[in-house]
Structure 1
Amino acid sequence: MTGRSRFESRSDDVMASSYPEQVTSQGVDNDDSGSETSSIVHNGSVISTVPDRHGFLGGTQYSTDPKQQTVPAIVVLRREQKWLRMLAHWDRVMNANYKKVRERCRKGIPPSVRPRAWLFLCGGKLLLEQSKTLYKELILQEGDARWVDDIRKDLHRQFPFHEMFVDQAGHGQRDLFQVLKAYSILNESVGYCQAQAPVAAFLLMHMPAEEAFWCLVSICDKYLTGYYSQGMETLQIDGEILFGLVKKVSPNVYKHLKKQKIEPILYMTEWFLCVFTRTLPWDTILRVWDMFLCEGVKIVFKVALVLLKFSLGRAGVLKKCPTMYETLEVLRNPPQAIMEEEFLINQVSTLQKNTAFIKEN
């Protein structure tokens, strides 16, 4: 799936179809006159003037609710200290005690060390050290006009309500362009695939452009090898593997999908190619990525299995899906409750323990 693709149909893409160079606004009455925040109208959508804790000004990911601290502050502090010690001796720790690293990733990486931990986990740090000047050299090149044109068309579609990307002339879209262009030059056989854009944008929200670039290289070339190539043969093969796993995890869902002849590629493409960055709530995405960058693509499989099982496997749901249309609609819009951080991560952990057919490291 190179160049243009099905991702253009997403609702946030439509709302962001023509961003100006600067945010133009007009006042909107705020019901709470004592509130420290206010709202503006931006391209027909009402957004906040103050970002939420993840940097969103509006859209489906925006939330004014503070994160509920389920882990005591003293525990978070201890975890931070443990991660800092691991990162200071990374090679030795990974070689001697990978299972401990995996356990700590499954518990959730503390936000204060998450960007650095991700860089180390995926091998981006090593790639950067091996080619210290390469990124700077790549961004100075013009790139293939075909890919450059496609990249420019996609910039405004990536998290358009996030403070980094809301301004067309801002550093967020500029860095995103450079990262994607650099990858298209580095890996000419792949070039640019539209699904790489949300992955790169997600990384840029957490780290500088050069580090995000090397993380993207690692994800595209090692974690999701072949996913972004034209024809998507690897993705189709993994789709069949996923379908076989559904048969073991949720036989009734498997029978339903088989009866309606719904190919896996119809519902799992965006999940796998974008690593759930366009599907799950933000706190859940962060936890999924903590595990994904440690354990690899099998985490993507396990999250997909949870979504399939609890979207379609709930009591009475299959009866409400007499045709392919209703079934795919459910899978495109999973119930919010099953995507919440605590529920989904717990279910993935249950799969970790109970599914011997998904091999553990």
Structure 2
Amino acid sequence: MDVPALAFSRSSSASSNNTTAVSERHTRKSSEHTLFDLYGMYEDAPSDVPPLPAKDVPSVRISRATLNGHSSLAYYDEEPPIKPPPTRIIDLTRAGVLLNGPPRTSSLRPVSDCMVPSPVASYEDRRASTGHLHSPSPSSTSRRTSPRPDSILGLPPLPPSRNPSPSPTPPPPTLTQAPIPLSPSLPLKHPVSGPSKTSLVPSEGEDLDGFYVRNTYAQLDMSGVKGDGYEEGVERTRARIGNSRSSQLCAENAIGDGTEKSQELDPREIETLLSVDRYGFFSTPSHDRLILLPSSSFDKRLSVVRGGAATAKASAQALNAVPPAAPPVKEASRIEKWTRMMQAGSRDQGANVQTWRVKQSKQSKLRLRTYKGVPDRWRPAAWDMFMATMANATPADTARLARDYREALDKPSTYDIQIDLDVPRTISGHVFYRTRYGAGQRSLFHVLHCFSLRCEGCGYVQGMGPIAATLLCYLDPEKVYASLVHLHDSYSMHAIFSPGFPGLLEAIYVQERITEQMMPDVYKAFQSHTISTTSYATKWYITLFSNSVPFQTQLRLWDAFLLEGPDVFVATAVAIVWVYRDQITSASANFETILSLLSSFFVPESEDALLLWIERVLGTKKLRASMVRWRADWQALVRDGKEGMALL
């Protein structure tokens, strides 16, 4: 099985949005435990890969007031430019890498300075399509000869502002060009959907702002965008494009023109690909508080313990940066073991493997090998197998969900505007999500759009973004949609995302019972300092630890979660409290120090030590039975209306 082309990692983002305001524990309603703001967990980051333009997509325009050259608008230019953007020359021989043989006729290429001068390059594949890297060639300076369909030049303008300001000067004329047919021999690098009427015209009663967002993504999905992965791109939906000629040119020139299908890499793309880590990150997101999760704490099994010395420090060891993701030491040997353990479960008519399963003789080895880490090469197959097993899904069920996904693409969602706002800031520093409206951001928008239509009760919440973005690093959009459905239906995520977050509160109740039983002094410290578990653990459960640990650690936790279910994250939360029990019970600890400590970004000294500690905890039959009982107790409290008094 192929590695998911650049096994992506996302030391993603976490920032700290530490919730405060903890009121008296006996007067707090259950709904108060769910108040939080996830915006702070995400940092603005764009995205990656493009599809191809289509000549026959009809141009759609929404009647609106003329856009104003107001200084608050994006890409506003105080003085309308007169000259076209200058060009500069790039010598490809200085890019450091030459691919696929000798250079072409000339290694010098003009590049427009209108483009964002990012030195970072595009990750042009999608594992599901070609299995290896493709790349766009650099854009030509002469934008007038760019082959681009009329439908793309006619991307719909923004709906009128409710309070339009008068335009001080007449807007410059709109630039138009005659489209130049694209060569039919150029291969597609990314699967795209065909044009759809319902994506190109508003549905009856659809909000025009929401339609504008949906339509923009639909048209750019046909054309792609330039510099996907190594340029920032041009904002089109969250802010207006300015009226000046240079702003309009930049917006127009950012649209794909067919050169993105070139088999050769742009020098900036080469530079980016040389700079990314094994998971696709070209930069490590910054975090307010980085602390070490020492492995020595995991030498002792979970058992009843008292608090540490009163003189213990109230703070943990801080780190300056997240360590780079290193290849697992035993990755090669584990790949061989998984290859011997797995076999094809079903094949399509072309004999391609559709599903995988574990050989009967190797079933006893699956759990421990999963906790030791699924190799990146096998992770897409393993995750798909784990979720299908948990959901009892058949290949026919998967095909049905794929049809549901394609049909939902053309339906309006009341959440489209909010999803569009959240997409660029979901994962920071990852090549696949770098470029605005690149293939990564488009795929993320489409998956979240479709899933928001799946369940009226859940709709869309911000915690869904990091989950979908992580899945997209290994699976194609249709399978990611199916995976979200499985998580929703079979992993209790419906209860996590439903109004009031009842599943979140249930998980926190179980966590508190384990803490009270195994670490009574820690539980008393939480009580005395009036620290509610929701104030620090909410984001852990809502995002499945996507923004609290390094990406490679998150992947290891997800391996276990997808195999065993939601108890894995309860055990992970207990593990963090277990490690810092001495700091929490310190005589110098207070509300601020404890909350700051538990709202940090945790960097395990040893991922193996953390995962094997969790494996031992969940392998304890007595504790697992208690967790089942505590979940039932919580449901009884909810039925009796007493849940508000049951949490810290």
TM-score w.r.t. length of structure 2: 0.47
Q: CA RMSD in A?
A: 3.5
Report the equivalent of 2:404. 134
How far is 1:225 from its partner? 2.9
Q: Judge which range, 169-178 or 348-357, deviates more.
A: 348-357
Change beyond 3 A, Cα 1:263–1:169: same
**Helix, strand or coil: the match of 1:108?**
coil
Report the equivalent of 2:336. 77
Report the equivalent of 1:117. 382
Report the equivalent of 2:116. 24
Report the equivalent of 1:171. 439
Q: Judge which range, 211-220 or 86-95, deviates more.
A: 86-95
User: What is the rounded CA distance, in whole Å, between the counterparts of 2:604 and 2:358 in structure 1?
Assistant: 36
- For the 8 Å contact 1:190–1:229, the answer to whether it is kept is yes
2:421 maps to which of 139, 153, 163: 153
Q: What residue identity is the alignment partner of 1:25?
A: P
Change beyond 3 A, Cα 1:64–1:302: closer
Report the equivalent of 1:271. 540
Establish whether residue 319 from structure 1 lines up as the match of residue 601 from structure 2: no
Q: What residue identity is the alignment partner of 1:6?
A: D
How far is 1:26 from its partner? 5.7
2:501 maps to which of 219, 223, 232: 232
**Helix, strand or coil: the match of 1:192?**
coil
| The structure with more radius of gyration | 2
Report the equivalent of 2:472. 204
How far is 1:64 from its partner? 4.6
Deviations 1:95-154 (A, max 9, x none): 99865433332232221111121112112763423444111111121222xx11110110
- For the 8 Å contact 1:154–1:197, the answer to whether it is kept is yes
Establish whether residue 350 from structure 1 lines up as the match of residue 625 from structure 2: no
User: What is the rounded CA distance, in whole Å, between the counterparts of 1:114 and 1:309 in structure 2?
Assistant: 29
Establish whether residue 57 from structure 1 lines up as the match of residue 282 from structure 2: yes
Q: Judge which range, 86-95 or 288-297, deviates more.
A: 86-95
How far is 1:358 from its partner? 2.0
1:254 maps to which of 509, 516, 523: 523
Change beyond 3 A, Cα 1:352–1:166: same
How far is 1:200 from its partner? 0.5
User: What is the rounded CA distance, in whole Å, between the counterparts of 2:276 and 2:474 in structure 1?
Assistant: 15
Report the equivalent of 1:36. none
User: What is the rounded CA distance, in whole Å, between the counterparts of 2:74 and 2:423 in structure 1?
Assistant: 10
How far is 1:188 from its partner? 1.8
Change beyond 3 A, Cα 1:342–1:260: same
- For the 8 Å contact 2:550–2:602, the answer to whether it is kept is no
User: What is the rounded CA distance, in whole Å, between the counterparts of 1:227 and 1:219 in structure 2?
Assistant: 10
Show structure 2 runs of 5+ residues with no match: 1-30, 47-72, 76-113, 121-229, 234-270, 287-321, 347-352, 629-648
Change beyond 3 A, Cα 1:101–1:23: farther
Report the equivalent of 1:6. 37
- For the 8 Å contact 1:190–1:228, the answer to whether it is kept is yes
Q: Which has the higher contact order (CA 8 A, sep 6+)?
A: 2
How far is 1:186 from its partner? 1.5
User: What is the rounded CA distance, in whole Å, between the counterparts of 1:103 and 1:183 in structure 2?
Assistant: 33
Change beyond 3 A, Cα 1:74–1:261: same
User: What is the rounded CA distance, in whole Å, between the counterparts of 2:411 and 2:494 in structure 1?
Assistant: 25
Report the equivalent of 2:371. 106
User: What is the rounded CA distance, in whole Å, between the counterparts of 1:67 and 1:182 in structure 2?
Assistant: 35
**Helix, strand or coil: the match of 1:191?**
coil
User: What is the rounded CA distance, in whole Å, between the counterparts of 2:401 and 2:461 in structure 1?
Assistant: 24
Q: How many residues align?
A: 335
User: What is the rounded CA distance, in whole Å, between the counterparts of 2:437 and 2:357 in structure 1?
Assistant: 43
**Helix, strand or coil: the match of 1:357?**
helix
User: What is the rounded CA distance, in whole Å, between the counterparts of 2:372 and 2:468 in structure 1?
Assistant: 24
| Structure with higher helix content | 1
Report the equivalent of 2:326. 66
Change beyond 3 A, Cα 1:67–1:142: same
User: What is the rounded CA distance, in whole Å, between the counterparts of 1:349 and 1:111 in structure 2?
Assistant: 20
Change beyond 3 A, Cα 1:295–1:86: farther
Report the equivalent of 2:603. 336
User: What is the rounded CA distance, in whole Å, between the counterparts of 1:253 and 1:41 in structure 2?
Assistant: 48
Show structure 1 runs of 5+ residues with no match: 29-39
Q: What residue identity is the alignment partner of 1:119?
A: D
How far is 1:90 from its partner? 7.0
Q: Judge which range, 55-64 or 106-115, deviates more.
A: 55-64
User: What is the rounded CA distance, in whole Å, between the counterparts of 2:611 and 2:455 in structure 1?
Assistant: 34
**Helix, strand or coil: the match of 1:356?**
helix
Q: What residue identity is the alignment partner of 1:142?
A: P
Q: Judge which range, 59-68 or 82-91, deviates more.
A: 82-91
Change beyond 3 A, Cα 1:331–1:251: same
Report the equivalent of 1:37. none
Give the 5 Å matches for 1:289-308: 289-308=558-577
- For the 8 Å contact 1:83–1:113, the answer to whether it is kept is no
User: Percent identity, aligned pairs only?
Assistant: 22
User: What is the rounded CA distance, in whole Å, between the counterparts of 2:368 and 2:470 in structure 1?
Assistant: 24
User: What is the rounded CA distance, in whole Å, between the counterparts of 2:231 and 2:400 in structure 1?
Assistant: 47
How far is 1:42 from its partner? 7.6
